[in-house]
Amino acid sequence: MSDVKKVVLAYSGGLDTSVIVKWLQETYRCEVVTFTADIGQGEEVEPARAKAEALGIKEIYIEDLREEFVRDYVYPMFRANTVYEGEYLLGTSIARPLIAKRLIEIANETGADAISHGATGKGNDQVRFELGAYALKPGVKVIAPWREWDLNSREKLMAYCEEHNIPVDFSQSKKKSPYSMDANLLHISYEGGMLEDPWAEAEEDMWRWSVSPEAAPDTPTYVELTFDKGDIVAIDGQPLKPHEVLEKLNKLGGDNGIGRLDIVENRYVGMKSRGCYETPGGTIMLRAHRAIESLTLDREEAHLKDALMPKYAEVIYNGYWWSPERRMLQAAIDETQKNVSGVVRMKLYKGSATVVGRKSEQSLFDESIATFEDDAGAYDQKDAEGFIKLNALRLRIAAGKGRLQD
């Protein structure tokens, strides 16, 4: 007899998690609570309610978390200009801490003994969900069916559905995307299928959020982004909530062919994985944020922040959002953002997001010093001689000993 009486499942309403509901009921003889989060995946989440009810679920949670997702997770991450391995904007990674938090909160509210998820044993998401869960509820039991059952193919899942009369939308005759996809307000990802060959170019009809750069309009789109303490608060002067900002930038970026990415990344579990991503709004946000920082951050502050970023990106990618090191890094990053306010003007054109203007009342750019014209004595060029000689002193000493020779 299982000691699990009730489990909270991260439930999408799709094939995998519908099978998991029945499998949990049969294997653990437990009550299942379903939790479906709307984080901007672009699909209706309410139909998950009817599917859960058809499976005998009594406690069903369906929640709109879009604003919280962008405000409390995406925005803090973008204050750091976070990029994993030089390219990936962490669209999947940053959604997992919020889902893990709500799973634990619902478990506490409903008196559940365990949580469950549909992440496979080969991916990063199992790590992210579970590290978050253990950080927030150390004694929680986690059930990961993909690490326990033998339903390791679509055919076996479909056979299980037929055997147990599980109502799902898919059938053998209905065309299904060959890719494993994950979407939220920040991005949509594609893995599997022909993408498992790193040499094969992604098919044009795979992309869902953006036109190809070649098909984008021949006239550029200009947009002005207003920042307050490192976060975008308005577009073209119109105040918007964080999730509304990202929704609008996704549309603008997608229409102009911006944000496509094709990479091979190093998963935390050890393997390399090829994936394609669309992050139109995030791509624009990153360029604009770096532009406003270029005006407002002190040089050494900016350089130290850039040095911390790869570690911060790795922490999030690997699933340690709730760790002390992420909190420590976040505190340092947020401290730098106090004066990161102003407006950035972007030009969006055929796949490129180009900064064409920036202004700020907190700007450290001093035109009277930087000018190539007469600076009226604002900068004494003779001062550079001593500066250079002092910085060259160690090189001159070493060269005198012959140490700098090949």
Query: Which residues does the annotation place in the binding site for ATP?
Result: 10-18, 37, 118
Q: What Å distances lie between residue 280 and 94, 210, 211, 248, 386, CA to CA?
A: 16, 8, 11, 10, 48
Q: Which residues pair with 143 in a beta bridge?
A: 116
CB 278 within 8 A of CB 209: yes
Q: What Å distances lie between residue 353 and 24, 284, 343, CA to CA?
A: 47, 6, 15
Collapsed DSSP state (helix, strand, coil) of residue 185: coil
Collapsed DSSP state (helix, strand, coil) of residue 162: helix
Q: Which residues contact 323 (CB under 8 A, 6 or more apart)?
A: 131, 135, 315
CB 268 within 8 A of CB 282: no
CB 336 within 8 A of CB 317: no
d(CA 373, CA 17): 67
Angle between helices 125-136 and 96-110 (to 10 degrees): 50
d(CA 181, CA 224): 32
DSSP structural state of residue 215: G
Annotated binding site: 10-18, 37, 88, 93, 118, 120, 124-125, 128, 180, 189, 265, 277
Question: What beta strand segments (E) does 146-254 contain?
Answer: 180-183, 188-191, 221-228, 231-235, 238-239
**Tokens found for residue 103:** 């799973």
How many contiguous H segments (helices) and E segments (strands) does the chain have? 13, 14
CB 77 within 8 A of CB 94: yes
Collapsed DSSP state (helix, strand, coil) of residue 379: coil
Phi, psi (5° rounding) for residue 324? -65, -35
Angle at 15 between CA 104 and CA 268, to 5 degrees: 55
Supply the residues annotated as catalytic. Answer: 16, 96, 125, 180
Residue 296 burial (CB < 10 Å; 0-12/13-18/19+)? buried
CB 280 within 8 A of CB 186: no
